[in-house]
Structure 1
Amino acid sequence: MRWGKDVHLDGHPLMDRLARLLPAPAADLMEIATAVYAADRLAARDHGDAYQLGWSRRLRLHVPVRQPDRWERLRESLAELLSWLTDDEWDLHFHSSGQACSPLGNAQGYLFPAVPPQAHVALFSGGLDSAAGLAIDLATRPTVDVIAVRVVTNGRMAHGQETVLGYFGERVHDCPFQVHLASGRSRESSQRTRGFLFLSAGVATALTARKSVLRVYENGIGAVNLPLVESQRGSQAPHAVHPRTLVMMEKLATSLNGGSCFRIELPHLWSTKAELLRQAPQTMVGAYTSSMSCDHAFASRIQGALQCGTCTSCILRRQSVLASGLSQLDARRTYRRDLSSMPRRYTLDASLWQAHRISRALSSTDPWSAFVQEFPQVLDVPGVESESGRSAILRLYGQYCAEWRSLTARLGVDMSKWGLEGAAAA
């Protein structure tokens, strides 16, 4: 891959605000993440494989870096993180390269006012969770500014994110990274390294700003992201901001921070999306209604593209808005399809089946054992070995099932019997 030819990385907005030249660990991390993301997009999986044997790939990547010895020491832990995110086998090699041939190697002059030293760093995606989480932080920390780190992969995404950020005023400092593949080069749409790219942007920004904390705004259901159906294996249920992902990324960032502890905070891990919305200040409704939660709207690259209304992210957004009692958050938003009138679709059926399975497990005589048996992936969440961790997980998913009843009642579905009526009749 050739910088500027096959893949383009622009970090000027960060360098304009925070540093004339990025620290070597930060610049290396961001360039490695971009190279990994590009390789992920260029190497197609075998999606036509009925037995899913072609989902995993073997990927060899050679990356020029400023500090090859450092990255050779981190090679195994980085490969483990990427394997967890993608289910692929990563063979990573690092070699020395001068700064002049790297996209983040040229010193910049300051073009914008300096960011206040007390500002903290947070990821911003342009979705509903990031808008609500940012609003909560600004309201509960009135003396602290926020450096909003975002990754932009197309113009539609940039416009959507900028529209939402426009509601927050001068306390939010926009630091985007632009990452683009050459037109027509992408062969794979699953993009399981996208989370690593976003987290790397956040860590690189924090290291540049000499901060040791990164905030990630995601609700607990979305972060843990249990599989919708039993046929989903490994990263087929994405792990972008899974608590285990964040722990692994913390260890990598701590190594890059000279051994000083680096933390990635997920403040809303134990809240559902509806609970997150109820905490958010209602003075920022414009930001929430302008946010984009759809899996497809940004990817469409069409200015003004509507949310589809039927992907898993749209379904969770609509369920949470209804359950929160804040229907006005979507009052001015139009979806391409309405859930109550559309024909049955896989995503809705799978979401209903998952909610039924969770509810059935939690209503058993031994909820934790039943839940683990139904969703063994929950054991990947750090902390569940403790009684308090197990209680927190059970409460989170119990609340989630209760919120689903708001939507299923509107759809005329009995969640306790979902998927079983036909079997009983047979």
Structure 2
Amino acid sequence: MNVEQLTRLRMYPEKSFVLFGTGSNDSVYARQGRVAKKVESIFPGRCHLFRVPIRFHDSAIQQKNKLSRSRGVVFTLIGAACAYLMGQRVLCVYENEIGAINLPYRASAVGLDHSRSVHPLTLLMVSDLVSELLGEEFRVKNPFLFWTKAQMCKALAEDGRNDLPPLTMSCDSPHRLRPIQCGYCSSCLLRRQALAATYIKDRTRYVVLHGNRPPKESSLHLDHMLVQVNTLRNLLDVSDEMDLQWEALTREFPVLDDIVDRSAGAESLLPIDMRGQLIQLYRTYVSEWDTVKSQIAVCPLNQCGKQQVSNRNAVNVQ
């Protein structure tokens, strides 16, 4: 459960929703239950949580794949099975566009996690696979493909629900001790950026702000994300004409052309309209970062405070 589901509940007050979860992590499993219980208290009788835990015999002695590249697709396939057994032929997965398409930060970025599990082309391929297995059409859709995470968080701002984000987990590399969420991976940074852009006080505790000193590479993701934001800004500023903006974007990120060519029909859009929506979305994303960039720090709270004091002293001496 995250802000996307909350938005869907607000958008369709006449509908009830089945939330499906899976996985093998007991901590995440418990967190799903707590968040679902909270949302149920906000929308009584409209939200039903079903889960299928994944368990492995003697998992402690099994060799682990740290990349977990196929994990998201496995979750989607299990969700599709749940939807089908409930008589549905559409499964909705909720992810903002920035996280779904997940463009590379820059050509030199190596070793950063760029998940493709809810990428538009991945969802198309999973839809085709499930349809082939079932012998009838089945679609996996992302209703928020053209939304930034900050746009999704407006639902929280409008309802004054700054109590919900601390219940949710966004971190790619959660720590074992509290605070659990690191605050400096790309998912944590996008979460923090989105909440700041919608003027929601982030009550989540992060290692980078509230815990011990983070590792030396804690600024790596933020550096890369800001390079990408600057790249997007420069590409969009080449012209006021949409065709030239799109040409610049796809020269740097060719996958965008492939996404439009292959998925515009599935989104019930003309290619030119889908290009326009993507251009506007990236322009919005850049604008959001420009508004909050100075607020997104990656140094510990006590270290930032010392640096600020040092800077003030330097000014006084001069």
TM-score (norm 2): 0.79
Counterpart selection for 1:373 from 224, 239, 251? 251
CA–CA distance in 1 between the matches of 2:69 and 2:282?
A: 25
- Give the superposition deviation at 1:254: 2.0
CA–CA distance in 2 between the matches of 1:326 and 1:411?
A: 14
- Report the counterpart of residue 150 of structure 1 in structure 2: 21
- Give the superposition deviation at 1:368: 1.2
Q: Which runs of 5+ in 1 are unaligned?
A: 1-129, 413-426
- Report the counterpart of residue 345 of structure 1 in structure 2: 219
Q: 1:185 to 1:223 in 2, by over 3 A?
A: same
1:279 counterpart = 2:155: yes
CA contact (8 A) 1:132 1:277 kept: yes
Counterpart selection for 2:53 from 178, 186, 197? 178
Query: Which runs of 4 or more aligned residues in structure 1 lie more than 4 Å from their structure 2 counterparts after TM superposition?
Result: 341-344
For each residue in 1:66-111, what CA deviation from the matched residue of structure 2 results, as whole angstroms up to 9, or x when unmatched? xxxxxxxxxxxxxxxxxxxxxxxxxxxxxxxxxxxxxxxxxxxxxx
Which has the larger helix fraction?
Answer: 2
- Report the counterpart of residue 252 of structure 1 in structure 2: 129
1:266 counterpart = 2:142: yes
Q: 1:133 to 1:236 in 2, by over 3 A?
A: closer
Q: How many residues align?
A: 275
Taking every aligned residue pair, what percent have the same amino acid on both sides? 28
Within a 5 Å distance, the mapping from 1:204-353 to structure 2 comes to: 204-231=81-108, 237-259=114-136, 261-280=137-156, 282=159, 284-297=161-174, 300=175, 302=176, 305-327=179-201, 330=202, 332-338=203-209, 345-353=219-227
CA–CA distance in 2 between the matches of 1:394 and 1:358?
A: 10
Please tell me the residue identity of whatever aligns with 1:391.
G
Please tell me the residue identity of whatever aligns with 1:173.
H
CA–CA distance in 2 between the matches of 1:356 and 1:224?
A: 18
Counterpart selection for 2:72 from 189, 195, 218? 195
- Report the counterpart of residue 409 of structure 1 in structure 2: 294
- Give the superposition deviation at 1:303: 7.2
CA–CA distance in 1 between the matches of 2:52 and 2:88?
A: 18
- Give the superposition deviation at 1:411: 6.0
Q: Which runs of 5+ in 2 are unaligned?
A: 298-318
Counterpart selection for 2:234 from 339, 349, 360? 360
Q: 1:178 to 1:335 in 2, by over 3 A?
A: same
CA–CA distance in 1 between the matches of 2:179 and 2:26?
A: 12
Q: Which has the higher contact order (CA 8 A, sep 6+)?
A: 1
- Give the superposition deviation at 1:375: 1.6
- Give the superposition deviation at 1:184: 3.5
3-state SS, counterpart of residue 208 of structure 2 = coil
Q: Aligned-residue CA RMSD in angstroms? A: 2.6
CA–CA distance in 2 between the matches of 1:317 and 1:277?
A: 9
CA–CA distance in 1 between the matches of 2:67 and 2:271?
A: 34
CA–CA distance in 2 between the matches of 1:315 and 1:263?
A: 31
Within a 5 Å distance, the mapping from 1:110-125 to structure 2 comes to: none
CA contact (8 A) 1:319 1:406 kept: no
CA–CA distance in 1 between the matches of 2:9 and 2:33?
A: 17
- Give the superposition deviation at 1:289: 2.8
For each residue in 1:113-141, what CA deviation from the matched residue of structure 2 results, as whole angstroms up to 9, or x when unmatched? xxxxxxxxxxxxxxxxx421222222232
1:386 counterpart = 2:271: yes
Which has the larger strand fraction?
Answer: 1
Counterpart selection for 2:38 from 167, 174, 187? 167
Please tell me the residue identity of whatever aligns with 1:153.
S
- Report the counterpart of residue 44 of structure 1 in structure 2: none
For each residue in 1:187-214, what CA deviation from the matched residue of structure 2 results, as whole angstroms up to 9, or x when unmatched? 3211110111110111000111111111
